[in-house]
Amino acid sequence: MIVRHENTGRLSKALVANGFVFLSGLTAKDRSGGVREQTADILAQIDHYLALAGTNKSRLVTGNVWLKDVGTFNEMNEAWEAWVDKECPPARATVEARLAHDSILVEIQVQGLV
């Protein structure tokens, strides 16, 4: 069985299947801040979608982070490290990428266990 949360017709923000939760790539709702602020915004959204799926960040398996400028890696990590479960951090990749809009500095996608 597949359970979809916040299906937009184009994508589901969170999808639960076979004991896993898959989140779509998320960007900050408030894009007025820098990388640290945008990352914190996204991580709060991740907490929300994980809760909808019946799980939490301690059950994350993988994370992918896309940065508009890899030179902001440390700023992103400051927010990430303040948020991540230090006893259960997921595997993670971070790359520089051209993102969908100039105001998007960070995009994050995670997968975890329910």
- Encode pLDDT of 13-42 as tens digits: 999 999 999 999 999 999 999 999 999 999
Domain of residue 44: give its range.
2-113
The whole-model pTM stands at: 0.97
Q: In this predicted structure, what is the pLDDT of residue 46?
A: 98
The one-letter code for the residue type at 6 is: E
- What pLDDT digit, counting tens, does each position of 61-111 carry? 999 999 999 999 999 999 999 999 999 999 999 999 999 999 999 999 999
The total number of structural domains in the chain stands at 1
Residue 26: alpha-carbon gap to chain centroid: 5
Q: In this predicted structure, what is the pLDDT of residue 69?
A: 98
The CATH number assigned to the domain holding 7 equals 3.30.1330.40
Q: How far is CA 33 from CA 8, 36, 108, in A?
A: 26, 8, 16
Q: Give percent helix, percent strand, percent coil of the chain, each to the nearest 5.
A: 30, 35, 35
